[in-house]
Amino acid sequence: MKALIIGAAGFVGGYLIRELSAAGWEVHATCLPNEKISEDCPAHTLDIMQKADISALLDEVTPDIVYHLAAQSSVSVSWKKPQLTAEINVVGTINVLEALREAKKQDIRTVLIGSGEEYGYIRQGACPLSESEPLNPGNIYAATKACQGMLGEIYARAYKMDIIMVRAFNHSGPKQSNIFVISDFCRQIAEIEKGIKEPVISVGNLSAKRDFTDVRDVVRAYRLLGEKGKSGTVYNVGRGRAVTIQFILDTALSFAKCDIEVKQDPSRMRASDIPLIEPDVSRILADTGWSAEITMEQTVEDTLNYWRKKLMSCGTSLGKEH
């Protein structure tokens, strides 16, 4: 099996390369000119805004499966740069789909990676969210990802293309940016242990319940969907069991090597936090046999150990992670 991962320089890309390679796949990956692929595999420079370049690469690599990870994936950036977000996430996806439609190799399976954010403002009693739940995006990033998924469904129906749509919920693990909650808590604890930061951890809303899955489980889901998923189908990818942010915090603090005070930071509070977001993952279980295996405790401990090691290697100062 030969895979092409478009947009592999981010957090998930390296894990997906590793997962597919371990399964015996031949893996090719793309990144922008200013980016670098973290894992050892053939790397190609690609900007998805250039359709001709996508076409040329598809004809060169002739993959069996394309994983489309390239995106402007920051919600905050989407508010500041809505046009850029739409260009990358919508126009860029159209470029990929058109290049695939016109490719010399016509049996390429495509996995479009979307987001649980697409469900947006959830109606009362809707959780766990099935794939048939109406989408009601609450931000520009989520709207563009919903559009990406709809485009995938349209191309699958209209052109009989082999396309699978994924709505991935929160995933975390070592190497993730500390703009995400698990990595944020773990980094703060590691800094406190090293004496860089006072023994106070800053937190936002701890009562919200969210579904978290280890990134290593998530990329295994992507591999299995590539192997066994049904064309034209949308799949939720998540643990299927939400936990409070308080649980995440308590778990992280249980691994701390010193006493830490918890202090709520008003700047970390969201005015319209949805109380509960939890997916129904019965479809992916039925079609591929996948379910999350790595415990939340293991994810948190591994992420904390990553930050401890990173702080040791970087000395006493770390810039903001991106």
**pLDDT at 275 (0 to 100):** 87
Task: Count how many Cα atoms sit within 13 Å of the Cα of residue 307 in the half-sphere of its side chain.
Answer: 31
Per-residue pLDDT band at 267 (split at 50, 70, 90): confident
Nearest to 12 by CA among 163, 152, 172: 172
Tens digit of each residue's pLDDT (9 = 90 or more) over 225-255: 999 999 999 999 999 999 999 999 999 999 9
Above 60 in pLDDT, residue 318? no
Tens digit of each residue's pLDDT (9 = 90 or more) over 270-293: 555 678 999 999 999 999 999 999
**pLDDT at 315 (0 to 100):** 64
Sign of the C-alpha dihedral computed for residues 209, 260, 270 and 116 taken in this order = negative
CB-based burial label for 202 (10 Å; 0-12, 13-18, 19+): middle
What three-state secondary structure class fits 111?
strand
Domains of the chain: 2-168 (3.40.50.720), 177-211+242-275+295-314 (3.90.25.10)
Tens digit of each residue's pLDDT (9 = 90 or more) over 38-70: 899 999 999 999 999 999 999 999 999 999 999
Rounded to two decimals, the pTM is 0.94
pLDDT greater at residue 136 or residue 314: 136
**pLDDT at 297 (0 to 100):** 98
Tens digit of each residue's pLDDT (9 = 90 or more) over 101-155: 999 999 999 999 999 999 999 999 999 999 999 999 999 999 999 999 999 999 9
**pLDDT at 273 (0 to 100):** 62
DSSP 62: -
**pLDDT at 313 (0 to 100):** 84
**pLDDT at 270 (0 to 100):** 58
From CA 235, how far away is CA 232, in angstroms rounded? 10
CA distances from 30 to 3, 58, 72, 155, 175 (A): 11, 11, 15, 23, 19
